[in-house]
Chains A and B, each alone.
Chain A
Amino acid sequence: MSDAELITLSAILAAMVRAATPLAFAALGELVTERAGVLNLGLEGMMLMGAVAAFGTAHAGWGYAPAIAAGAAAGAAMAALFGLLALTLRANQVACGLALSIFGVGLSAFLGKSLIGSPVTALPALPVPGLAEIPVIGAALFDQDILVYASFLAAPALHWFLFKSRRGLILRAVGENHDAAHAIGYGVLRVRYAAVLFGGAMSGLAGAYLSLAYTPMWVENMSSGRGWIALALVVFATWRPSRAILGAYLFGGVTILQLHAQSWGIGVPSQALAMLPYLATVAVLVLISRDETKIKLNAPACLGKVFHSGR
């Protein structure tokens, strides 16, 4: 390959990582929520609230760390609202999640009215000395901002938490059989609240990445459906963090490759590629539904079911 081709390849890889980062955050957060047996469809709304809160904080000149924290907090606050409705008040989770999505779109647009049209400086890249210069993969892996690095660490950390730690075991137990978990003395609601809040905070981080780093501006509905792709990714990943991050890179990568293919003049039906994440999700759903053992292994058995502690 010529130098120019290597540089292009490096740019494509870096773009893939960037496109995948918001998907990875949101999908990993939702994965933990669903592992605890709660289906929160409100990712899009939580993401947008995270985006507007992070942008507003950065725009007010309070710095990046508070901005990122504000993004996570806004996502968690929206998730808390969902928890109140779906966990404490035991409303239908699907309906609450959809409502949360739509509510978040409107609320973020309302809160962000004065922020439109005023850009902020993008979250700076923090190149790792020595490693960032590696040809081809250096720029993608070691010349990114702090949120991208955090997303790299999130998947192994969550894998360890879910499958190697005691608390992770309890969380999965709550998701698999809440009555049994309750019977042996675990606080089902407490665990689920924690999982829902964590999922919200991760969606908030995804939003913060969008408005601080990816496209450093605030505009209404800037997530443009990424929350829904992340939701599909959780199923695609069959509730495993390693596959979720893989899926995020796959879908991020497909988007980027398709745009590059067009700029090379290769005709790719871009509409077909746009539906790929959803097709893949349907395919996975069909595959895991055909095989009973696979369902038992993967989908949390109590996913979306209401827990009544009195029974």
Chain B
Amino acid sequence: MMMMTRRAGLAAVLALGLGAAGSALAAEPLKVGFVYVGPIGDYGYSHQHNEGRLAVEKRFVGKVKTTYVENVPEGADAERVIRQLAQTGHALIFTTSFGFMNPTAKVARQFPKVKFEHATGYLRGPNLATYMARFYEGRYASGVAAGRLTKSNKLGYIASFPIPEVVRGANAFTLGARSVNPKAEVRVVWVNSWYDPGKEREAAEALIAQGVDVIAQHTDSAAPVQAADEKGVWAIGQASDMSRFGPRSHLTAIVDDWSGYYIARVQAVLDGAWTSTDTWRGFDAGMVRLAPFNPAVPAAVKAEALKVEDEIKSHKLHPFTGPIKDQSGKERVAPGKVMADADLLRMNWFVQGVIGDMPK
């Protein structure tokens, strides 16, 4: 009896969902859902995804209605949130954090008519696509500017956790800097947090005390930019333009820009042309870009970094082109060879020029 009621209930919910989706074709706007791991006001990762959502709203006025859920913990709660969105007639759902992968895949199997897109993961299905950005391209280009601007040849990198994404970023930054300044070294400090303004600030100060004069970060708060501003060194912002926190120090920032991708995917659903894809694009798709350079940056340095950006964009240059040696001096990539995506995705070693250990 209990089972029956539950089934009937589920059927009713499904019917309701399908009904909503069906009528969307007629006049109702397409409902698109977004699930964020952080607050949209973090001026970091989730904020940038939300900017993408706002761009979708702006582009498809009247045709698309978006919903977002912020601060969703990775785990059981996420599944509930995603299912809720699927049940309430959302035809396309973006889940924007790695930890949403399993819940997204699970809900996707239960709602074959709903289309799901998961950022930074690797599980795919007929109605589950994945997407991420080649942030390392931005880090390489900003590294070029850093390599030119440093006087001490000491660059700093505030790192969060030793996962391939972070290691790849630090390596790309180092390779970029050393492509124009072979004497440049990058000191990596791990703070073991995505987000702890106090600790990030202290990490920045520790680096500055070591003579570092350009700081890059793979953590989410603007505290390092602020600390750099106080001490009169350069800093490279993360995820969004952080110049308001360091008008003098903010060299540029590696900006995540999801709007183009989100608009394209919503358009595909509207056209009935959506397919499950695996997207990993960078400068070329506008998913990554550099924030406006500080006016104090010499024009030649700016031009050089922008030229590198252009070359990466047109696929003339790949940041991970050999010869690449690791910290021990062992050659990991042969001259002229480009690292395969599969190797980039599981990178767990530092390139030559990085000072600092991988936490074990």
Contacts and interface: CB of A to CB of B under 8 A. Distances in A.
Interface string B238-249: 000000110000
24 contacts: A7-B209, A18-B202, A119-B245, A210-B197, A210-B198, A215-B197, A215-B201, A217-B197, A219-B42, A219-B197, A220-B41, A221-B195, A222-B197, A224-B197, A226-B198, A255-B202, A262-B188, A263-B203, A263-B206, A263-B207, A263-B209, A263-B212, A269-B359, A269-B360
Given A215-B198, A271-B192, A11 B359 contact: no
A270 B190 CA distance: 7
B275 interface: no
Contact of A118 (B195, B223, B230, B244): B244
Given A117-B244, A122-B230, A260 B190 contact: no
Given A263-B187, A265-B356, A270-B359, A116 B202 contact: no
Contact of A12 (B156, B203, B209): B209
A263 B188 CA distance: 7
Contact of A255 (B188, B199, B245): B199
Contacts of B205: 11, 15
B202 A224 contact: no
B73 to A, nearest CB: 13
B201 A214 contact: yes
B210 A263 contact: yes
Contacts of B187: 262-263, 265
B190 A217 contact: no
A15 B205 CA distance: 8
A256 B191 CA distance: 11
A261 to B, nearest CB: 9
A216 B226 contact: yes
A273 B64 CA distance: 49
B221 A259 contact: no
B355 A265 contact: yes
B206 A271 contact: no
A35 B43 CA distance: 41
Interface of A: 7-8, 11-12, 15, 18-19, 22, 109, 113, 116-119, 122, 210, 214-217, 219-222, 224-226, 255-256, 259-260, 262-265, 267, 269-271, 274
A3 B287 CA distance: 47
A175 B285 CA distance: 65
A226 B202 CA distance: 14
Contacts of A119: 222, 226, 244-245
B348 to A, nearest CB: 16
Nearest to A274: B192
Contacts of A259: 189, 191, 199, 202-203, 206
Contacts of A215: 197-198, 201, 221, 223, 226
Given A214-B201, A217-B222, A263-B207, A224 B195 contact: yes
A262 B190 contact: yes
A40 B195 CA distance: 26
